[in-house]
Amino acid sequence: MALLNILHYPDERLHTVAKPISAVDDRIRTLIDDMAETMYEARGIGLAATQVNVHERLVVIDVSEDKSGLTAFVNPEIVERRGDTVYEEGCLSVPGIYDKVHRSEWVRVRALDRDGQPFEIEADGLLAICIQHEIDHLDGKVFVEYLSQLKQDRIRTKLRKREKNTL
């Protein structure tokens, strides 16, 4: 397994719409493993392939406390959503920034697993939020884009300054 480089907002590559995966093979399973290792190392609960500059429809999520609930979603698609909730979100691509985002409180998702087998999952709470957040990445959208233009500009400025100070 290998740690992957996570792209940081406002990197334009985060706005690339991911393409469907045609076959779940060893390359995809290795990518799943590498993404999971990267997510755990960064102390995240979800990671989309777009965030590691791979523009294919793949997400890994684990909202468990003990890192025992890893789920890979290949070609995930939200097929039903209900309710409305507000949740404070953060993102590995937008380090140190948290803000409230409106999301559906319940979703039904269809995807393929790491063996290419289809499955459906119903989710609410943190898992539903995480699924929606990560699928947004696959569609080229970062959570800060739900915020006001003023907040987006401030976040962009803050992250650019932080990046210059670390070089």
- 158 located within any domain: yes
Q: Kindly tell me if the per-residue pLDDT of 146 is higher than 80.
A: yes
Task: Name the residue type at position 95.
Answer: P
Kindly report whether the global pTM for this prediction surpasses the value 0.85: yes
Q: Kindly tell me if the per-residue pLDDT of 149 is higher than 90.
A: yes
- 12 located within any domain: no
Catalytic residues: 134
Report the alpha-carbon distance of residue 149 to residue 137 in Å, rounded.
19
Q: Kindly tell me if the per-residue pLDDT of 105 is higher than 80.
A: yes
State how many domains the chain has. Answer: 1
> What is the SS3 assignment for 102?
strand
- 113 located within any domain: yes
- 58 located within any domain: yes
Specify the pLDDT at position 1.
Answer: 75
Q: What is the mean pLDDT of residues 59-65?
A: 97
- 2 located within any domain: no
- 8 located within any domain: no
Query: Nearest 5°: phi and psi at 159?
Result: -70, -35
Please, are residues 111 and 132 in contact by the beta-carbon 8 Å criterion?
no
Domain that holds residue 156: 17-166
Please, are residues 71 and 33 in contact by the beta-carbon 8 Å criterion?
no
* 55 assigned to a ligand binding site: no
Neighbours of 149 (CB within 10 A): 8
* 8 assigned to a ligand binding site: no
Residue 60, domain CATH: 3.90.45.10
Give the DSSP letter of residue 19: B
Torsion of CA 71, 72, 77, 79, to 10 degrees: -20
DSSP E strand boundaries for the chain:
46-48, 58-61, 71-82, 85-91, 94-103, 106-112, 118-124
- 156 located within any domain: yes
Q: What is the mean pLDDT of residues 40-57?
A: 98
Please, are residues 95 and 8 in contact by the beta-carbon 8 Å criterion?
yes
Average pLDDT, the chain: 96
- 7 located within any domain: no
